[in-house]
Structure 1
Amino acid sequence: MVTPAALPPLPFNPSRVRSYLVRLPLFTRLVVLVILAFWLLELQTLWSVVQWGALIPNEIGLGTMYRLNTFPFIHTGFFHALLNALALTPLLERFEAEHGTLTSIALFVGPLSTLPAGLYILIEKVILHSNTSVVGSSVWVFLLLGSEAIRTFKSNPYFSLGPYKIPTWTSPLFACVVLSILVSNVSFLGHLCAILVGYLFGLGYLKVFVPPEKVLRWIEGKLNLLGRLPHYISVDQKTYGRYGVLPSSSNPGNVAGGTPMSYLGSTQRLGA
């Protein structure tokens, strides 16, 4: 009797993947679900989701300001959405764990979406006199990479490449350039704007946009969010405090982990 050949082992452990997904915090789950929902909406042909929600410089007005918030959720196809979701999830999950759910919502619905979008529109319209539209959550991927690079630079200023010492804060810029070279139809300018805003956040210049903890505690207590919402992270549950782990000067030889860059998504560039 011939026995069937053994199946090759999977390149990942399904139980660990399931355990990781089960532990994802609330806002991260919502972002991934909204990305999925918009991709499903793109399957119908009666209404163009991309045309409705893309960041199009010439289409921005008082009645279309929603585009500043919708463009990170919209993608131009399944693989575009999948790769961006894979890139964003671990970065956003870490951010929410360190800052709390309410703070994450306030920042990503507010300045961490509108600032890179506004900077992109300003450069496109005023300097380049162009109208290239963009969509894709990699604007948040590169923003978070920029913030992580600044934090890494504070504890580990350089990494060695042969005889050269390269500042660690430049790693997202290298990734931005490489991605633009290897992948067609991505927005180099959109990624660059996101990195610059990430740098500002990592340096602490955007702390003014962070809601006060006293207000957040009042909202959480008044609405009993921790008791009502599963996977919610309260102000007092944050892993490392609001602005992450501060670099220690007591042990200069200690090197922090590098910026997580296992996946890189792309902000899809549309039009000419």
Structure 2
Amino acid sequence: MPSLPQFNPLRLRSYIFRLPLATRLLVTAIVGLWIAAIPFPWLRELGSLSPDKFDLTQMHRLNLFPLTHFGFFHMFFDVFAITPLLERFEAEFGTIVTLSLFTGPFGLLPGGLYLLLEKFILRGNTAVMGSSVWVFLLLASEAMKTQKANPNFSIGPYKIPTWTTPLILVLMTSFLVPNVSLLGHLCGAAIGYVWATGYIKFLVPHEKILRWVETKLNLLGRLPHYVSVDQKTYGRYGVLPTAVPLGSVAREPRSPDVGQRLGP
């Protein structure tokens, strides 16, 4: 009889300590805002994206609604889903790009699209909040990348296009989980598809500018768990420090055996 995988708190602790900087900050903001809303419940109303209450003086709602949650389980499951996706995104694009997008366009674009459709097309007034909009945005982006290597997956005799996976999950979530916004999730997925096609990559500052900022402020040296935008030169976490004194490697006797290659 197969044994169930056992929960290992040490592995969880190691995973949390390895999270990159932007992922830590965004997850901390989500959890912190939920904690703050316990003694101050008006914070939920302040951060919710409500079509009838939105005008030019309420632009902060477009930035706050992905960080705001109705209750503990809403927050917990969103954090559980968004953390590995954010970590993967930050590892690919860097800390500055991740923070600039998730505190700006990745809230403004799906939120603005939701307001447009809900208020002017559907004539509704359903308030939404929660980082699940980011979950489906990132899932859509990942599905488009996976599509290039695996265009289809099979379910019995049927071949399903890989890019439709987030849409299937949106529908399943809407049927299985009560009080979720189908339209809000679809808006998040739509922006993820557009991002993956490259049409809104202009929202990210040029790589030369980002490298100049990193070098000028010495972000790699000052900020722990910072991910450089220049993956080709520095790798994920910059140049790793070494305890071997300069020149000592040359004085070591060289092994006559051929070294073993790591990886394929």
**TM-score, scaled to structure 2:** 0.84
**Equivalent in the alignment of 1:84:** 78
Q: CA deviation at 1:211?
A: 1.2
Identity %: 57
User: What count of residue pairs does the alignment treat as equivalent?
Assistant: 232
Check if 1:44 corresponds to 2:32: no
Q: CA deviation at 1:108?
A: 1.1
Q: CA deviation at 1:104?
A: 0.6
2:106 aligned residue (103, 107, 112): 112
Q: Please list the CA deviations of residues 129-154 of structure 1 after superposition, one character each: whole Å capped at 9, or x if unmatched.
A: 11111000000000000000111111
1:15 aligned residue (1, 7, 10): 10
Q: Distance in 2 between matches of 1:170 and 1:74?
A: 28
Q: CA deviation at 1:237?
A: 3.6
Q: Please list the CA deviations of residues 57-102 of structure 1 after superposition, one character each: whole Å capped at 9, or x if unmatched.
A: 1222222101000001110111110100000000000000000000
State the superposition RMSD in angstroms.
Answer: 1.6
1:177 aligned residue (159, 171, 184): 171
Q: Distance in 2 between matches of 1:61 and 1:100?
A: 33
Check if 1:200 corresponds to 2:180: no
Counterpart residue identity of residue 185, structure 1: N
SS in 1 for 2:199: coil
Q: Which runs of 5+ in 1 are unaligned?
A: 1-7, 241-272
Q: Distance in 1 between matches of 2:67 and 2:6?
A: 29
1:159 aligned residue (150, 153, 165): 153
**TM-score, scaled to structure 1:** 0.82
With CA pairs under 8 Å and 6+ residues apart, which has the higher RCO, 1 or 2?
Answer: 1
Q: CA deviation at 1:11?
A: 2.4
SS in 2 for 1:235: coil
Counterpart residue identity of residue 64, structure 1: Q
Contact 1:106 1:211 in 2 (8 A): no
**Equivalent in the alignment of 1:190:** 184
Q: CA deviation at 1:10?
A: 7.5
Counterpart residue identity of residue 60, structure 1: F
1:58 aligned residue (42, 48, 52): 52
Counterpart residue identity of residue 26, structure 1: L
**Equivalent in the alignment of 1:67:** 61
Contact 1:176 1:191 in 2 (8 A): yes
Runs of 4+ aligned residues of structure 1 deviating over 3 Å after TM superposition are 237-240
Q: Distance in 2 between matches of 1:9 and 1:180?
A: 29
Q: Which runs of 5+ in 2 are unaligned?
A: 237-264
Q: Distance in 2 between matches of 1:88 and 1:215?
A: 28
2:23 aligned residue (17, 22, 28): 28
Q: Distance in 2 between matches of 1:162 and 1:9?
A: 27
